Amino acid sequence: MQTVVSGIRPTGNLHLGNYFGAVRAFLEMQHQYDCRFFIADWHSLTTHPKPEDIQRNAETILAEYLACGLDPEKSIIYVQSDVPEVLELYLYLNMNAYLGELERTTSFKDKARQQPDNVNAGLLTYPTLMAADILIHKGEKVPVGKDQEQNMEMARKFARRFNTIYGVDYFAEPESFSMAGKGIKVPGLDGSGKMGKSEGNCIYLMDDEKTISKKVMKAVTDSGPTEPNQEKPEVIQNLFTFMEIVSAPETYQHFDELYNSCQIRYGDMKKQLAADINAYAAPIRERIAEYSSDRELLRRVAREGAERARIHAQRTLAEVREIIGFRPR
C-alpha cells in the first residue's frame, strides 16, 4: 500500500470549503492508502512566531478533523512537533540545500513581501522542512494544491540530491497527488469564486444556526432575471452551486425553475439555503463540540499517533545516519 503524507496548518477553524475540498478527499484516502496526517505546528511559526496557544490550536484542528470522520485507527494522525526526528532530517537536508534555490521559491518571495519585517530562516527553509516531513515517512504521494507544486519539486530535488551525494538509491521521489477531482469547489457568498479565510467569506463548521443565517442572507445577488432561461451571472450561479452541494435535488430544481421563469425571490432562496447549510453542518458541529470538550481524548489520540509516527521516523533516521556516516544511537 502506498504511503500518503499530508500536513495541516493549525491556523483558524475549518470552513465548508475545507470540508468539501481537502477533508472529504482525506476521508476517501484513508481507506485506500497508508495515510500519515500531521498538524504542522512548526510550519506555523514561519508566519506566527508568537502563537497565543499553539497547543490549544492544534487540539482544535484535531477535534475538527476527528469530527469530520478522520479515523486514527485507519490513519496515523499526529502533531508535527511530537516527532523530533523530523528536525534531524531537516538539518541534513538543509546542509545540501543551496541559498540561491531557496531564495527563488515563489512561496518564499511571496511571504517575504507580505511580512518584510519577519523574513526569517524558517521561512527561507520551508521547502526543506516540508521535504523532511515527507521523506521521514518515505512518502510516495502528497496531496497538494497548485500553490505547493514548486515546493513538491524541491522535495523531489532534495531526495535526488541525497541519493546522488551519498551514492545510494534510498529516497524515492514523492509524487504530487492532485486534489483536482477529489473535492468540490465551494464558492464564496460574497460573489467571489472560492470560499477562503483570506477572502473573509467563510462559513465555518463551528458556526451556529444564527451565524450561518446571517452570513447567507448577506450573500451578493443582483436585481433578478429579466428574460426566461437567461444565463446566470457568477454571483447568482454561486448561490445555485452552494444549493447543489447542500440541498436536496428537488429543492435545487424548484429554485432553478423559479429563476428560469423570472419568478425567483432571492430572499426565499437564501432562507432555504441557510436552513439546508445548517442541517448539513449541525451534526458535524455537535461532534466538534464533543471532541473539543474531551481534551484528554485529544491528547491520547495525538500521543498514540506520535508513537506510531516515530516508529517509522526512527527507522528512517537510523538508516540516514548510517548512510551519511554517523554513529548509530
pLDDT, tens digit, for every residue of 13-36? 888 888 887 888 888 889 889 999
Residue 1: pLDDT band with limits 50, 70, 90: confident
**Secondary structure class of 203 (helix, strand, coil):** coil
> Which one has a higher pLDDT value, 293 or 114?
293
CA separation for the pair 36, 200 (Å, rounded): 30
Angle at the Cα of 300 from the Cα atoms of 297 and 302, rounded to 5 degrees: 110
| Mean per-residue pLDDT over the chain, rounded | 89
Distance CA 212, CA 203 (A): 7
Q: DSSP for 77-105? A: EEEGGG-THHHHHHHHHHHT--HHHHHT-
Indicate which residue of 111, 141, 215, 270 is catalytic.
111
φ, ψ at 76 (rounded to 5°):
-90, 120
The predicted structure's pLDDT at residue 187: 82
Q: CB–CB of 137/3 below 8 Å?
A: yes
Q: Which of 74, 138, 197, 232 is catalytic?
A: 197
Instruction: State yes or no: is 194 an active-site residue.
Output: yes
The pLDDT, as a whole number, for residue 84 is: 96
Please tell me which residue, 188 or 155, carries the higher pLDDT value. Answer: 155
CA dihedral 288, 55, 141, 96 (to 10 degrees): 170
The model's pLDDT over 191-234, given as tens digits with 9 standing for 90+, comes to: 766 787 766 788 999 999 999 999 999 988 999 999 999 999 98
Give residue 264's pLDDT.
95
How much helix, strand and coil, in percent to the nearest 5, is found in the chain? 55, 10, 35
Which amino acid is it at 293?
S
Whether 74 is catalytic: no
Query: What pLDDT was estimated at residue 180?
Result: 55
Q: How confident is the model at residue 51 (pLDDT cuts 50, 70, 90)?
A: low
For residue 325, is it left (φ>0), alpha (ψ between -120 and 50) or beta?
left
One-letter identity of residue 162: F
Q: What are the tens digits of pLDDT across the range 307-322? A: 999 999 999 999 999 9
* DSSP per-residue letters across 218-259: T----S--SSTTPPPPHHHHHHHHHHHHHS-HHHHHHHHHHH
- Which of 109, 146, 185, 194 is the catalytic position? 194
pLDDT average, residue stretch 131-145: 91
